[in-house]
Chain A
Amino acid sequence: MQTALLVLTVMLLTGIVFGFILAYANKKFAVEVNPLIHLVEDALPKGQCGACGYAGCAAYAEAVVLNPDVPPNLCVPGKGPVADVVAELTGKTAPPVEPRIAHIRCAGSMGKAVAKYQYFGVEDCVAANLLQGGQKSCIYGCLGFGTCVKNCPFGAMTLLPEGLPYVDPEKCTGCGKCETVCPKNVIEMLPLGAKVSVNCNSKDKGAVAKKNCSAACLGCGLCKKNCPHDAITIVNNLATVDHKICIEKCDNPTCIAKCPTKAIEAVVKEHVVEKVAV
Chain B
Amino acid sequence: MAEYLTLFISAVIVNNFVLTRFLGLCIFFGVSKNLSASLGMGMAVTAVITLSSTLAWLVYNLVLVPLHLTFLTTVVFVVLIASFVQLLEMVTKKFTPALYNMWGIYLLLIATNCVVLGVPLINVESNFSLAKSVVHTIGAGVGFAVAITLMASLREKLILADVPKPLEGLGVAFILAGMLALSFLGFSGMIAI
Chain A residues with CB under 8 Å of chain B are: 3, 6-7, 10-11, 14-15, 18, 21-22, 25-26, 29-31, 122, 127
Contacts and interface: CB of A to CB of B under 8 A. Distances in A.
Given A7-B72, A14-B79, A29-B94, A21 B87 contact: yes
Nearest to A121: B162
A127 B83 CA distance: 47
Interface of B: 63, 67-69, 72, 75-76, 79-80, 83, 86-87, 90-91, 93-95, 160, 162
Nearest to A10: B69
11 contacts: A10-B63, A10-B76, A11-B72, A15-B79, A18-B83, A22-B86, A22-B87, A25-B87, A25-B91, A29-B94, A29-B95
Contacts of A31: 93-94
Nearest to A21: B87
Contacts of B93: 29, 31
Nearest to B88: A25
A122 to B, nearest CB: 6
Contacts of A30: 94
Nearest to B94: A29
Residue among A6, A14, A122, A127 with the most chain B CB within 10 A? A14
A11 B83 contact: no
Contacts of A7: 69, 72
A25 B69 CA distance: 29
A101 to B, nearest CB: 31
A6 B69 contact: yes
B121 to A, nearest CB: 17
A14 B69 contact: no
A3 B70 CA distance: 12
B67 to A, nearest CB: 6
A6 B72 CA distance: 11
B72 A18 contact: no
A7 B70 CA distance: 11
Contact of B79 (A3, A6, A18, A122): A18
Contacts of B79: 14-15, 18
B75 A25 contact: no
B91 A11 contact: no
A122 B75 CA distance: 49
Given A25-B90, A26-B90, A29-B91, 5 more contacts: A6-B69, A10-B67, A11-B75, A29-B94, A122-B160
A91 to B, nearest CB: 26
B78 to A, nearest CB: 10
Contacts of A29: 90-91, 93-95
A25 B86 CA distance: 9
B80 A14 contact: yes
Contacts of B86: 22
Contacts of A18: 79-80, 83
Contacts of B76: 10-11, 14
Nearest to B68: A3
A206 B160 CA distance: 37
